[in-house]
Structure 1
Amino acid sequence: MKVGFIGLGNVGGKLSGSLLRNGVDLCVHDLDADLVQSFVDRGAKAGGSPAQMMRDCDAVITCLPSPAASDAVVQEMLPEVTAGKIWMEMSTTDVAEVKRLGALVTERGGHPVDCPVSGGCHRADTGNISIYAGCERETFDRILPLLTKMGRRILHVGEIGNSSILKVMTNYLANINLLSVCEALTVMKACGMDLGMTYEAIAMSSGNSFAHETESQLILSGSRDVNFTMDLVMKDIGLFQTLADRNNVPLELSPVMIEMMKDGQRRYGERAQSDRMIERLEEATGLSITAPGFPTELIDDEPEEPGYEVKIRRAAAE
């Protein structure tokens, strides 16, 4: 299968790197010509344009920063969509938007997939990230070999759009966990607790979370550079709030988190790293929430393993 990849940013560059590393016939495109050239130097081909990539490839993957960017790229590709062509949307986007664009691809005989990732840029870099895939089962079976080269755990979630719903939910949880970790670490520091010990106490407890295992380390080292910016957080938690509003769910924590993140953007800039939210509490208390021995960047130290489909738990047949 010849594959095109559009969007070589923080996440897309790592996912497409996994495809290239694992021998996929790959062409790439990005508005940044230097990023494209870096892939060409490693053996990929320059895609030229989204339209040309859809014409030349069996599947085209998009990993872009906003729904508007995805719309622009898909509109350019649509005239070249023919029977059997696959569009894979790996951006974090709005469910209504991915369904709308997917319908346009389907009308031309193509097969749309929404397949966002979860697990952090460090795992995207090693092919150990998790991937949700919303599409027809037949299409899923066709693209599973590609997905297992980019990720370790692959979950088929049913129809297109389901992945986007699940993805914004997981990002909501990750960000609310980040804010709770910031408060927990600050209170422990105020109580005079050793923060290195506190980290381990949380990690081995019922209070543990992915956010703690990753972002707490960057908070404590002082680097505060998780490679995920506040504007992306605001997009994700805003999409989750939209889901709640559409379905008449009266959330209480979500609006508070949105206001907290807006305050963080006002203080540190719209594109500040999300784990700088700890600095709001440092400023309020005069405490330094740091400790020796923690890394300044996240590195996935697990070896790259072949990906596999995660089976959904079902009730036993009667």
Structure 2
Amino acid sequence: MKIGFIGLGNVGGKLSGSLLRNGVDLVVHDLDTDLVARFVDRGAAAGGSPAQMMAMCDAVITCLPSPAASDAVMQEMLPEIGPGKVWMEMSTTDAGEVKRLGDEVIARGGAAVDCPVSGGCHRADTGNISIYAGCDRATFERILPILTIMGRRVLHTGDLGSASVLKVMTNYLATANLLTLCEALTVMKAAGLDMGTTYEAIKISSGTSFVHETESQLILSGSRDVNFTMDLVQKDIGLFQKLADKHDVPLEISPLIIEIMSDGQRRYGERAQSDQIIQRLEEATGLDIRAPGFPTELIDDEPEERGAEVVLRG
């Protein structure tokens, strides 16, 4: 399959890099022409416009910062979609929006998949990230070989849109975990505990998590740079709140998380790194939540392996 990839940012650049590294016939596009040039230097082809990419490729992947950006790209591609063409949406987006656009693709004889990722930019860089895929089973089996190059674990979540619903849930949980870790680390510092010891105590306990074992290290090193900005966090947790509102679920924690992150944006900037949210507590207490020996960037030390489908229980 000839694959087109639109959106070469923090996540998209790494996912498409895995495709290129593993010999996929890749065509790329981004509004940043320097990013496109770097991929061309590594062996990819420049796609020109989204319409040209859909015309020349079997499948086109979009990995963009907002539903509006995905819609704009899709409007360009739609005239070129017909039988045999596949649109793969890897952005974190609204399930209703991906279904709306996907229905337009399907009406023209193409296939549509929402396949967002989870696991951090460092794992996207090595092909070890997790991928959800929402689509019919036949389409899933067709694109699975492509997904297993970009991700270690691939879960078929059901119909189109189901993957996007699950993805905003996981980002909500990750954000909630980040905020509780900020509070936990600050309270331990105030209580006189060593931060290195605190990190290891959490890591070996029932309180550990993926967020702790990654983002707590960046908080403690002082880098606070997880390659994920507060505006993206706000988009994702806002989508989760929108989903709860749609189904009349009265959430209590979610609105508070949105307000805390909004305050972080007011203080540090709309596109501040999400881990900078620890500074709210540092400013409130006068404490410095850092410790020696922690990395300033995350590096995935797992060997790159071809991924596989996650098989459901039962």
Task: Give TM-score, length-normalised by structure 1.
Answer: 0.98
1:164 maps to which residue?
164
Deviations 1:52-100 (A, max 9, x none): 1100000000000000000000110000001010000000000000000
Aligned residue for 2:158, secondary structure, equals coil
Residue 313 of structure 1: how far off its partner (Å): 1.2
Question: Which residue identity lines up with residue 186 of structure 1 in the other structure?
Answer: T
Task: Name the aligned partner's letter for residue 151 of structure 2.
Answer: G
Q: Deviations over 1:275-299 (max 9, x none)?
A: 0010000000000000000000000
| Aligned twin of 1:143 | 143
Amino acid at match of 1:170: T
**Aligned twin of 2:47:** 47
Give the letter aligned to residue 169 of structure 1.
M
Percent identity between the two aligned chains: 79
Whole-Å Cα distance in 2 between the matches of residues 136 and 36 of structure 1? Answer: 32
State the shift of 1:192 in Å.
0.3
Matches of 2:174 and 2:113, distance apart in 1: 24
Is 2:98 aligned against 1:98? yes
Shift of 1:110: 0.3
Aligned positions of 1:1-318 closer than 5 A: 1-314=1-314
In 1: Cα distance, 2:309 partner to 2:150 partner: 12
Three-state SS of the structure 1 residue aligned to 2:167 is helix
Distance in 2 (CA, whole Å) between partners of 1:114 and 1:7 is: 15
Q: Equivalent residue of 1:70, what SS?
A: helix
Aligned-partner residue type, residue 141 of structure 2:
D
The size of the alignment, in residue pairs, is: 314
Runs of 4+ aligned residues of structure 1 deviating over 4 Å after TM superposition are none
Counterpart code for 2:281: L
Quick one: which amino acid aligns to residue 145 of structure 1? P
- DSSP 3-state at the match of 1:157: strand
C-alpha separation between the residues in 1 aligned to 2:65 and 2:165? Answer: 17
**Cα distance in 1 for residues equivalent to 2:215 and 2:195:** 14
AA aligned to 1:285 is T
One-letter amino acid matched to 1:45: A
- Output the CA distance in 1 between the equivalents of 2:165 and 2:72: 22
Shift of 1:173: 0.3
Aligned to 1:3, what secondary structure does the other structure show?
Answer: strand
The residue identity in structure 1 corresponding to 2:11 is: V
Structure 2 counterpart SS, 1:168: helix
Secondary structure class of the residue paired with 1:145 = helix
1:237-259 CA distances to partner (integer Å, 9 max, x unpaired)?
00000000000000000000000
Q: Compute the displacement of 1:209 (Å).
A: 1.0
Over residues 199-231 of structure 1, what are the superposed CA-to-partner deviations in whole Å (9 max), with x where a residue is unaligned? 000011110111101110000000010110000
State the distance in 1 between where 2:32 and 2:281 align: 37
